[in-house]
Structure 1
């Protein structure tokens, strides 16, 4: 049986670049029908230049939200996302920097409040991963860096954002199927995703009295720039083949979950993880 799902490819830099991927990820389905679910809202989306972040930003714009795109240094991808958000009728800003730095997190929120005067939705989506099969060979600096980007940044940005979030606001954190199944090649990444899941559940209980909902999405294999920039060309060619659906998911198949969790449709949903993973049952 041919298990290939994608053309073999690899990118030598992280974070990866969406405009160099083949095929291009699908960030918006042709049959998506917006319904103004986020009209008048203001959202911050980290990792918003590409992949799941781009798809979320575009869907939020379609639903009526103003969007602040936060990204590291992928300027070309960020410009395309910004253009797509504004093309769909929303205002948007793009902010480049490292969310692992507390000072940058403070600047993100300050610029959003200066422009729109409010903040309603925080999507903590930025992340990185580095394969390593032998824990004894793993560099401590890599372990710390992955934790700083993937979970410390959530703590730092959420802490600043909370000063402006009101009852009815929503925080959505991106976890991963690796938090539930583990991954022998992604020891540090999987560990951070487990921490994100616990952070989400605990913060949801903590903020429930204030009317602020906290949820997460745990994607499975989704075709984003993180994939060709992490794995070898041979592994990329078989990406997603081991799911029950036998293929990787597209960012457009994940983003509607972020719309749901941010909207009034999820008014009685907090502390939960939505599993969008092509059929893997993880019972979490």
Structure 2
């Protein structure tokens, strides 16, 4: 597969599977030099890199825990050294715990989810802004945050803590977009829902999408590739006048 003119380096957090992996593969066809960030599954991350390289693209896999600032620093330094000028960031990492009510939550779970899903997004965006903002000598770029339809729906009886973390991502997206709009950086978000990914298994309900699909307006769950299309569009110059905006991908829900 031929790629278009190289547009710069793109970091995608949590890119070894699901939406992140689909975005990495698609963005590579648009000429981005891809950093496939992962936490534990090196083999899956390297498989994404191999797919990209086999299709004529350039990619590296970098292990880093994006809930820790020191690991985030390491991630961005690796991209500086191996891929060059940063053009974009996709904040994609997201975790949840087993389905439960708020009155069953514990402190450790709340800290873990909010640190990964919220603080990690802030800290990765900080490093991206320091590199891309014209106020810091950068050439501009784009940030896409992966939120969730849960931020609108609340996920009662299942993942209210996860939904709240994504609500924070929505507010962060809007605030950062306004903060850096005059510095050559666009910041937008996608809000997927009911997508066939492995995250549902970590919540103890691997068949959740199939179970709920018939109740959705479109009567089906979504695929990671459908979310990736929206993310890559928001990164691209085709969305050059779009910032502080949200694309909902939840089958009409």
TM-score (norm 1): 0.83
Q: After superposition, what is the alpha-carbon deviation per residue over 1:131-159, rounded to whole angstroms, capped at 9, x for unaligned?
A: 34322221111001000110110111111
1:212 aligns with 2:213: no
Q: Which residue of 215, 233, 238 maps to 1:260?
A: 233
1:192 aligns with 2:165: yes
Q: Which residue of 142, 165, 170 maps to 1:170?
A: 142
Q: What is the Cα deviation at residue 97 of structure 1? A: 2.4
Q: What is the Cα deviation at residue 230 of structure 1? A: 1.8
Q: What is the Cα deviation at residue 35 of structure 1? A: 7.4
Q: Which residue of 117, 121, 125 maps to 1:154?
A: 121
- The 3 A distance-change label for structure 1 pair 244 and 34 is farther
Q: What is the Cα deviation at residue 241 of structure 1? A: 3.0
- The 3 A distance-change label for structure 1 pair 241 and 129 is farther
Q: After superposition, what is the alpha-carbon deviation per residue over 1:141-189, rounded to whole angstroms, capped at 9, x for unaligned?
A: 1001000110110111111222211344000000000101110110110
Report if the CA contact (8 A) 2:196-2:209 is conserved: no
Q: What is the Cα deviation at residue 90 of structure 1? A: 1.4
Q: What is the Cα deviation at residue 246 of structure 1? A: 1.4
Distance 2:176 2:50 in 1: 34
- The 3 A distance-change label for structure 1 pair 34 and 227 is farther
Q: Which residue of 67, 85, 96 maps to 2:52?
A: 85
For 2:221, the equivalent position in structure 1 comes to: 248
Q: What is the Cα deviation at residue 261 of structure 1? A: 0.5
Distance 2:150 2:31 in 1: 32
Distance 1:248 1:197 in 2: 23
For 1:180, the equivalent position in structure 2 comes to: 152
The alignment partner of 1:164 has SS state of helix
For 1:94, the equivalent position in structure 2 comes to: 61
- The 3 A distance-change label for structure 1 pair 245 and 35 is farther
Q: Which residue of 221, 224, 231 maps to 2:204?
A: 231
- The 3 A distance-change label for structure 1 pair 233 and 152 is closer
1:63-74 correspondence runs (5 A): 63-74=30-41
Q: What is the Cα deviation at residue 83 of structure 1? A: 1.1
Q: Which residue of 190, 193, 201 maps to 2:174?
A: 201
Give the number of equivalent residue pairs: 247
Unpaired runs of 5+ in structure 1? 1-32
Unpaired runs of 5+ in structure 2? 133-137
For 1:104, the equivalent position in structure 2 comes to: 71
For 2:245, the equivalent position in structure 1 comes to: 272
For 2:135, the equivalent position in structure 1 comes to: none
Distance 1:206 1:71 in 2: 29
